[in-house]
Amino acid sequence: MSLVQVTEADGGSAVPTDVGVEAEAGRRRLQRRTIGAGGWVGAGVLVAVLATTLIGPLTSGDPLAQNFDAILRAPSAGHLFGTDELGRDVFVRVVFGGRTALAITVVSAVVASLLGLVLALAGALFGGWVDAVTSRLADVQLAVPSIVLAIVVLSFVGNSFVPIVFVLVLGSWVLTFRVIRGHARAVVAQQYVEAARVAGAGRFGIAWRHLIPSVLPLLAVAFTINASSALLLESSLGYLGLGVQPPDPDWGQMVATGQAQIFTAPWIALFPGLAVVATAVGLQLLGDGLAERFVGGPVTRRGLAR
Amino acid sequence: MSVSQDASAGPAPAPAPWSVPRRRVRAPVSWRYIGGRLATGLVAVWGAVTLVFFALYATGNPAILLVPPDAPPDEILRLTHLMGFDRPLPVQYWNFLTSVATGTFPDSIRYGADPLPIALAKIPASLALGLTGLLVGVLLGGVIGYVSATARSGWLSRVPLGIATGIESVPTFFIGIVLIIVFAVRLGWFPVTSTGDAASMVLPALTLAFAFIPAIARVFRTALLDVLQAEHIRTARAKGLPRHVLVSRHVVANSLGTTLNVVGIQAGVLLGGAVVTESVFGWPGIGQLSINAVQNRDYPLVIVCVLAIAVGFVLINLVVDVVAAVVEPRLRS
């Protein structure tokens, strides 16, 4: 039996259909309607990061503004994160870099989640060769190292927004697919789905009324993990010079350029990297909290943990 | 062949209950098993070649990419014809496959020479770093997993694993940067970039190790907890086996197979981590070469590097599968 509780999603009730211990555990879990302290901390960090990157650009200066009177200044009240070798304010650049990094991350995670969801539901509903083909596709995807894919696509096709998102989506959709597919197959085998089918509901009706409401919590968990792996990969691509190109600021790319000054001004490389870590940790904590609350166990980058 | 048949035959007759189990010589993995894995690997390499081909094809006439920007038009035409880029798609594809199979690539734009030897010359450095990092990562991850599975006190079973999970949210390049700032800039213990001696290996190997310590630790912990609940552990405990024998022969040995399997699954992470790590520390390996080739738009060299990385991925998986099958016969099916 999978860790995921197959619950009756139609009619708005959320009573577990399983009997015995699992149902009891599920009921207890449903009573504890919280994502835990870690989940709240993660959500708080994410809100703080999002608010800073969304509101910050309205109040602070120009990320490209150079000031040769203030080059390589250490962090202080005037320059919160210090200045770089051209006198640019590192805090302002981190705020603006966050916009690029987070926009790419969120778009990639949304597309990856939708792709995984659609393929998983198709596999669960149609079964047979559809399921075989989508599962094989996921296996093939796992067999291609993300770095090879990134080098090939980004060097031959170019590194603008769409190719970067493409690489990130291909690197992370399998997680959603695997998690959702397992759950959706279990739901399709339930008697109420059978009853709906007998009553004349079509495949899309079943998907809309029964499957999608039932997989929503899982989708939320998978989304946070997709977002965190997309962010890590995006920043790595930026660091390697395969991602967002200068002069557009981007967290990973800023770490790479800051590395040249690492002896005299380590803060240039440190703060954009810390921004990545803070966001990724926030996503991870929130994902763990959601998983604990809705799924009943951790979901790892590869799928449901045992 | 006869040896492998022994391995696949039914369970050996149970020893008499009072006899101490003799150390059994395990049957080596059959050639058929290795052949099967190798065939799967070849399919993966073929997939990488196909990916490269279609990425090239999508750019229009790849020949323009494969010669220096100042090449005369007849050179472009010559290469277009040589690589078959003026033929129908299936013919092009076939030509590309055969040129890869025979190791015929256009000259590297930056080095003006056959890119294959250039890439091959970088493999020993990458291998040295990769194996050291792998060893360090498996050891550290194993220790963390072991401690968190067997610790009696609460914090010892949570804190190391918690730290390992936190590390999962730190991108590899930033681990490298932090290690540089702490150990090279502040403390001055190790050089910042590769100088070729053992000291310059320490930080890159640690950086690479951190990339997969979390996965190893988590899986080893789960495997240990699984085995610890098994019946034969209770039996071994009941017959008074010393704790260290119980742990080494029964618990750890039975958990190794699953853990090694994860090392294989993590091979992609290892490769990605290696490319990033080599770039952070200027390590003269194939990862840094490939990133430089991308930045120089040296496409022939990019192709060779990508194929080398793909072959490396397949070989890592093969070796891990074989080793895992040797220590864990249940994985052989």
pLDDT tens sequence across B112-154: 788 888 888 888 888 888 889 988 998 999 899 888 888 777 7
How far apart are the C-alpha atoms of B176 and B163, rounded to whole Å? 17
Q: To which H or E segment does residue A303 belong? A: strand A303-304
- Any idea which of A210-219, B2-11, B55-64, B246-255 has the lowest mean pLDDT? B2-11
- Greater confidence (B110 vs B309) lies with B309
* CA–CA dist A214, A111 (Å, integer): 20
Q: pLDDT tens digits, chain A, 306 residues: what are they?
A: 333 444 333 333 334 444 556 566 655 555 556 777 788 888 888 888 888 888 876 666 677 767 666 666 677 766 667 777 776 777 888 888 888 889 999 999 999 999 999 998 888 888 788 888 888 888 777 777 788 888 888 887 777 888 899 989 988 888 888 888 888 888 888 888 888 888 887 888 888 888 888 888 888 888 988 898 899 889 999 898 888 887 778 898 888 888 888 888 888 888 888 999 999 999 988 888 888 777 666 565 544 432
Nearest-angstrom CA–CA distance, A96 and A80: 15
Could you tell me if A264 lies within 8 Å of chain B, comparing CB atoms?
no
For B47, the closest of A144, A157, A277 (CB atoms) is A144
ipTM of the complex: 0.78
**Minimum-distance CB partner of B47 among A143, A236, A305:** A143
Q: How many CB pairs under 8 A join A and B?
A: 133
**Could you tell me the two tokens for A222?**
């998978």
Residue A144 forms contact with B (CB below 8 Å): yes
> Which is higher by pLDDT, B20 or B8?
B20
Q: Among residues B320, B307, B221, which one has the least CA distance to residue B266?
A: B320
Q: B271, A148: Cβ pair inside 8 Å?
A: yes
Looking at residue B322, what is its pLDDT? 81
Q: Which of B300, B299, B274 is nearest to B287 (CA)?
A: B274
- Closest residue to B294, CB basis, from A146, A151, A236: A151
Which A residues, 280 through 299, put their C-beta within 8 Å of a C-beta on chain B? 280-281, 283-284
B288: nearest CA partner in chain A? A240
Q: Are A292 and B210 in contact (CB under 8 A)?
A: no
Choose among A235, A266, A306: nearest Cβ to B181: A266
Confirm if B187 and B115 have CB atoms less than 8 A apart. no
| A189 against B330, higher pLDDT | A189
Place of tokens 């256009």: B106
* Chain B nearest CA to A114, separation (Å): 23
Closest to B215 (Cα-Cα) out of B158, B165, B252, B150: B165
A-chain residues near B275 (CB < 8 A): 147, 240
Of A123 and B37, the structure prediction assigns the larger pLDDT to: A123
Instruction: Check residue A2 and give its pLDDT.
Output: 37
Asked if the Cβ–Cβ distance from A145 to B276 is below 8 Å, we say no
Residue A267 — φ and ψ, nearest 5°? -65, -25
Cross-chain Cβ contact A147/B165 below 8 Å: no
C-alpha distances out from residue B250 to A234, B61, B244, B247, Å: 43, 60, 10, 6
Confidence class for position B23, pLDDT limits 50, 70, 90: low
Determine contact: A236 vs chain B, CB below 8 A.
yes
Sole residue written with tokens 């949570």 = B158
Q: Which residues pair with A304 in a beta bridge?
A: A299
Q: Has this prediction a pTM greater than 0.95?
A: no
d(CA B262, CA B259): 5
Q: What is the dihedral of CA B127, B130, B134, B137, to 10 degrees?
A: 150
How far is the C-alpha of A278 from the C-alpha of B267, rounded, in Å? 26
Identify from B169, B295, B306 which residue to disrupt to test chain A contact, counting A C-beta atoms within 10 A and taking the largest count: B169
CA distance A55 to chain B (A): 25
Q: Residue window 46-85, chain B: list those with CB within 8 Å of chain A.
A: 47-48, 51-52, 55-56, 58-59, 65
**DSSP type of residue A155:** H
Question: Looking at beta carbons, which residues of chain B come within 8 Å of A305?
Answer: 218, 222
Angle, helices B123-150 vs B199-228, to 10°: value is 40
Furthest-apart CA atoms within chain A: distance in Å: 77
CB B317 within 8 A of CB B267: yes
Q: What is the DSSP letter of B107?
A: P
Q: What is the mean pLDDT of chain B?
A: 79
Sign of CA dihedral B101, B106, B108, B111: positive
Q: Is B243 left (phi over 0), alpha (psi -120 to 50) or beta?
A: alpha
A155/B302 CB distance under 8 A: yes
pLDDT of residue A28: 59
State whether A305 and B222 contact (CB < 8 Å). yes
Integer Cα distance of A22 and A17 in angstroms: 10
User: What does the buried/exposed string (b/e) look like for B252-270 if buried means 16 or more CB atoms within 10 Å of the residue's CB?
Assistant: bebbbbbbbbbbbebbbbb
Q: Is A267 on the interface with B (CB under 8 A)?
A: no
Residue of A nearest to B272 (CA): A147
